[in-house]
C-alpha cells in the first residue's frame, strides 16, 4: 500500500471515490505481462468497480457529485459514428493509450515522490480515488446494491452482453462455452435468459460444474476425459452436428480453433471473448467461412455501455438477471493479495474488494 496524489478532474473528466472493486483475469494477464504494449509500470491496476462521484470537471453534465457510477473499459461517447450506429468501437479518441487519460495522454496520479503513475484501462480502480473520462463512465440506479453494480462494470456484462448483442442467441439454440470463469458463466446466464435449449460448459475444473448448473448450464465436458476425441468432436455429437453458438472465454488461440470446429456447419457462430495477449495467429481456411460459419470478437460483449448497462441493472432489479452467485468472496482493500491468490488458485469467481468497510 502506498499513499499517492490524485489530481482534480480536467475537462470532460470525473473524480470517483471507489466504494468497491473486484479482480478480473484481465488484471492478472496485464500484471504478468513483462514486455510489449501491455506492460505498464509503475501503474495502478483494477478496472471493474463501482464508486461515487466526488467531483466533476468542466463540461460534464451527465453526472454530479453523489451519483453511483461504474468505470468501463469500452468507451462510449454517444457522438461519433460508431456510437450512433452499429458496433461499440467508439472512435472519439482513436489514438488513446491504455495507460493514460484519453483526451491528453497524461496521468492524474503522482506517487509519494511526485512522479507520474500509469493509468490502467481508463479506470485504475485499485485506488481509493481515481479519475475517469466521462466517455468511460456509466451512471447507474442507486437501487442496485453497490457490490452487484460492480459486477456490471466488466465481466458479467461481457458474457451476458455477448449473448444479446454480439451473438443475438435465438430461443431453442444450442450453445457451447469454453471456460467457466465469470465471463463464461455470464454467457450461460445470458443464454438461459435468451431461451437456449442446450448450454454446454467446457472446463478442466470439475468444481465449476456444480456452480455452472445454477447459471443454466445443462451439459458438461471435461477436456481431459474425452479420450481420443477432440472437444469439438464431442460437441458435434452432443448437438447433432455442431453448436449454433460457441463462446471462447479463456483467451487461447487453440481453444478458439476448437470452438470454431465445434460450431454448426452453414450457420454456426463463434464469439471470441478471451484475450490472447501472446498474439498467436489463428489459421482458418477460406472455404470454412464460405460454407456459412462465422467467427467474431466482442469487446465488452458488443454492448454500448451507457445505454445497455443500465438496462442490465434493471433486469437485475426485476429478478430476471442473477448476479448474486458470481460473488464468492469478499475482502478488505488491505487484503487485496488474497483476492489474487483465490483467483490464481481457481477458487473464486468474483472477489469483492471493499475500500472502507
- pLDDT digits 0-9 by tens, 24-75: 877 887 787 766 656 678 999 999 999 999 999 999 999 999 999 999 999 9
pLDDT band at 176 (very low <50, low <70, confident <90, very high): very high
C-beta separation of 56 from 103 below 8 A: no
Per-residue model confidence (pLDDT) at position 41: 83
End-to-end CA distance of the chain: 17
Domain 5-153+322-354, CATH among 2.30.30.90, 3.10.129.10, 3.40.50.300, 3.90.180.10: 3.90.180.10
**Gap between the Cα atoms of 288 and 267, Å rounded:** 11
**Gap between the Cα atoms of 234 and 255, Å rounded:** 14
C-beta separation of 75 from 90 below 8 A: yes
Mean pLDDT of 272-287: 84
Cell for 264? 454448426
Per-residue model confidence (pLDDT) at position 93: 85
**Gap between the Cα atoms of 90 and 75, Å rounded:** 6
Q: Where are the domains of the chain?
A: 5-153+322-354, 156-301
Burial pattern 29-67, b for ≥16 Cβ within 10 A else e, equals: bbbeeeeeebebeebbbbbbbbbbbbbbbeebebbeeeb
Most confident of 25-34, 272-281, 331-340: 331-340
- Pairing of β 129-133 and β 13-22: antiparallel
Per-residue model confidence (pLDDT) at position 37: 59
Domain 156-301, CATH among 2.60.40.10, 3.30.930.10, 3.40.190.10, 3.40.50.720: 3.40.50.720
Per-residue model confidence (pLDDT) at position 57: 97
Percent above pLDDT 70 for the chain:
97
pLDDT of 159 strictly over 70: yes
**Gap between the Cα atoms of 172 and 100, Å rounded:** 44
pLDDT of 259 strictly over 70: yes
Mean pLDDT of 272-286: 84
Mean residue pLDDT across the chain: 93
- pLDDT digits 0-9 by tens, 90-148: 988 876 688 899 999 999 999 999 999 999 999 999 999 999 999 999 999 999 999 99
Mean pLDDT of 2-10: 96
Q: Which residue has the higher pLDDT, 221 or 206?
A: 221
pLDDT band at 77 (very low <50, low <70, confident <90, very high): very high
Per-residue model confidence (pLDDT) at position 190: 98
Per-residue model confidence (pLDDT) at position 31: 80
Amino acid at each position: 500500500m502506498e499513499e499517492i496524489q490524485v489530481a482534480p478532474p480536467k475537462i470532460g473528466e470525473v473524480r470517483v471515490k471507489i466504494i468497491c472493486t473486484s479482480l478480473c483475469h484481465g488484471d492478472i494477464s496485464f500484471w504478468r505481462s513483462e514486455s510489449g504494449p501491455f506492460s505498464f509500470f509503475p501503474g495502478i491496476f483494477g478496472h471493474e468497480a463501482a464508486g461515487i462521484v466526488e467531483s466533476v470537471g468542466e463540461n460534464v453534465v451527465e453526472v454530479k457529485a453523489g451519483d453511483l457510477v461504474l468505470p468501463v473499459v469500452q468507451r462510449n461517447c454517444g457522438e461519433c459514428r460508431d456510437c450512433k450506429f452499429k458496433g461499440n468501437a467508439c472512435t472519439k479518441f482513436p489514438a488513446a493509450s491504455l495507460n493514460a487519460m484519453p483526451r491528453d495522454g497524461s496521468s492524474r496520479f503522482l506517487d509519494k515522490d511526485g512522479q507520474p503513475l500509469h493509468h490502467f484501462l481508463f479506470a485504475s480502480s485499485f485506488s481509493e480515488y481515481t479519475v475517469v473520462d466521462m466517455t468511460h463512465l456509466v451512471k447507474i440506479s442507486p437501487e442496485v446494491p453497490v457490490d452487484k453494480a460492480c459486477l456490471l462494470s466488466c465481466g458479467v456484462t461481457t458474457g451476458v452482453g455477448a449473448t444479446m448483442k454480439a451473438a443475438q442467441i435465438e430461443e431453442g439454440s444450442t450453445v457451447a462455452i469454453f471456460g467457466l470463469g465469470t465471463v463464461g458463466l455470464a454467457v450461460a446466464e445470458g443464454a438461459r435468459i435468451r431461451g437456449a435449449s442446450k448450454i454446454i460448459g467446457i472446463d478442466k475444473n470439475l468444481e465449476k460444474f456444480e456452480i455452472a448448473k445454477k447459471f443454466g448450464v445443462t451439459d458438461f465436458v471435461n477436456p481431459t476425459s474425452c479420450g481420443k476425441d477432440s472437444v469439438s468432436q464431442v460437441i458435434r455429437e452432443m448437438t447433432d452436428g455442431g453448436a449454433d453458438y460457441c463462446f471462447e472465454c479463456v483467451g487461447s488461440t487453440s481453444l478458439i480453433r476448437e470452438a470454431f470446429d465445434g460450431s454448426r456447419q452453414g450457420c454456426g457462430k463463434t464469439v471470441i471473448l478471451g484475450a490472447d495477449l501472446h498474439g498467436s495467429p489463428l489459421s482458418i481456411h477460406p472455404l470454412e467461412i464460405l460454407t456459412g460459419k462465422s467467427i467474431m470478437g466482442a469487446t465488452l460483449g458488443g454492448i454500448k455501455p451507457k445505454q445497455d448497462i443500465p438496462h442490465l441493472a434493471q433486469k437485475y432489479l426485476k429478478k430476471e438477471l442473477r448476479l448474486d452467485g458470481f460473488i464468492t468472496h469478499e475482502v478488505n482493500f488491505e487484503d487485496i493479495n488474497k483476492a489474487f491468490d483465490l483467483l490464481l488458485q481457481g477458487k473464486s469467481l468474483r472477489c469483492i474488494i471493499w475500500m472502507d468497510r
